[in-house]
């Protein structure tokens, strides 16, 4: 829980100068809890199992689809579940996804101020569709999914890949996430971690919403970074 809890009265000089922002996806760019619940409970129902309990809900929110299905289903159902993933009816899960309030305005501000943006997520092949549906894909390059590199989060491979693509050092960027997986990933890569709506995480900065972050960045750009 250590770190600064950002608000409209936070002194702007607490925010370091940055050249890039790495975002997690679920819970950070998008509100997807309902979508994930619908998706994974579909598999539970398919195999005659009860809906996920609280521990399972938290697990699937932070892990890859492969890890999640293996965690919530008996071993004998796992392979069939992987084959069922291609069923068109599962696309209904996408209809439950919403963009986080104030995010688009923040992305526009970052782009206008020449701050790079990337995504590092444990989603698989659905990421591009999600970003396209919300009309925000253009803001991010690169986008790293759990299948792009040998190791998914919390391994730091994704962050190192992004830094390499950008030609930047760890101290040039920040990582915004909402789970312990993001916290550990940022720590292992040496990148400063900012938590989004997750005050219990160990972060340098705790962000309550994107309106406050955008306003704070506007102040620090005008009053600190420009000097």
Q: What is the pLDDT of residues 215-224, one digit of tens each?
A: 999 999 988 8
Given this model, what pLDDT does residue 170 score? 98
Instruction: Name the token pair of 138.
Output: 């253009």
| Domain covering 33-96 in this structure, CATH number | 1.10.150
> What gap in Å lies between CA 92 and CA 38, rounded to an integer?
9
Q: What is the pLDDT of residues 16-25, one digit of tens each?
A: 999 999 999 9
Q: Where are the domains of the chain?
A: 4-30+99-225, 33-96
The 3-state secondary structure of the chain reads CCCEECCCCCCHHHCCCCCEEEECCECCCEECHHHHHHHHHHHHHHCCCCCCCHHHHHHHHHCCHHHHHHHHCCHHHHHHHHHHCCCHHHHHHHHHCEECCCHHHHHHHHHHCCCEEEEECCCCCCHHHHHHHCCCHHHCCCEECCCCCCCCCCCCHHHHHHHHHHCCCHHHEEEEECCHHHHHHHHHHCCEEEEECCCCCCCCEEECCHHHHHHHHHHHHHHHHCC
What percent of the chain shows pLDDT beyond 90? 87
Given this model, what pLDDT does residue 227 score? 63
Q: What is the pLDDT of residues 115-136, one digit of tens each?
A: 999 999 998 888 999 999 999 9
Average pLDDT over all residues of the chain: 94
112 CB-near residues (< 8 Å, 6+ apart):
none
| Domain covering 4-30+99-225 in this structure, CATH number | 3.40.50.1000
Say whether pLDDT at 15 is over 60.
Answer: yes
Pairing of strands 205-207, 98-99: unpaired
User: What number of other Cβ atoms are within 10 A of residue 86's Cβ?
Assistant: 7
Task: Give the chain's radius of gyration (CA, Å).
Answer: 18
Say whether pLDDT at 1 is over 90.
Answer: no
Q: What is the pLDDT of residues 57-86, one digit of tens each?
A: 989 988 889 999 999 999 999 999 999 999
Given this model, what pLDDT does residue 72 score? 97
* Confidence band for 211, pLDDT divided at 50, 70 and 90: very high
214 CB-near residues (< 8 Å, 6+ apart):
102, 105, 106, 109
Instruction: Name the token pair of 131.
Output: 């970003």
> Are 183 and 193 in contact, with CB atoms under 8 Å apart?
yes
Say whether pLDDT at 108 is over 90.
Answer: yes
Q: What is the pLDDT of residues 30-46, one digit of tens each?
A: 998 899 999 999 999 99
> Are 189 and 160 in contact, with CB atoms under 8 Å apart?
yes
Given this model, what pLDDT does residue 133 score? 92
Q: What is the pLDDT of residues 175-208, one digit of tens each?
A: 999 999 999 999 999 999 999 999 999 999 999 9
In the chain, the largest separation of any two C-alpha atoms, in whole Å, equals 63
User: What number of other Cβ atoms are within 10 A of residue 145's Cβ?
Assistant: 20
């Amino acid at each position: 829980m250590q770190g600064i809890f950002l608000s409209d009265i936070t002194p702007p000089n607490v925010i370091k100068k940055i050249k890039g922002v790495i975002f997690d996806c679920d819970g950070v760019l998008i509100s997807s809890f309902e979508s994930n619940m619908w998706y994974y409970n579909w598999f539970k129902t398919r195999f005659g199992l009860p809906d996920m309990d609280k521990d399972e809900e938290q697990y699937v929110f932070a892990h890859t689809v492969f890890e999640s299905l293996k965690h919530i289903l008996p071993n004998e159902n796992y392979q069939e579940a992987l084959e069922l993933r291609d069923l068109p009816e599962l696309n209904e899960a996408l209809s439950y996804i919403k963009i986080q309030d104030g995010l688009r305005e923040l992305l526009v501000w970052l782009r206008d101020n020449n701050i790079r943006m990337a995504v590092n997520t444990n989603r698989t092949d659905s990421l591009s569709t999600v970003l396209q549906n919300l009309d925000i894909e253009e803001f991010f390059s690169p986008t790293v999914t759990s299948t792009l590199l040998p190791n998914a989060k919390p391994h730091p491979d994704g962050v190192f890949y992004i830094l390499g693509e950008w030609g930047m050092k760890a101290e040039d960027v920040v990582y915004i996430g909402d789970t312990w997986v993001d916290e550990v990933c940022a720590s292992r890569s040496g990148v400063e971690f900012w938590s989004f709506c997750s005050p219990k995480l160990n972060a340098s900065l705790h962000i309550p919403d994107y309106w406050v972050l955008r306003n704070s960045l506007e102040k620090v750009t005008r009053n600190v970074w420009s000097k």
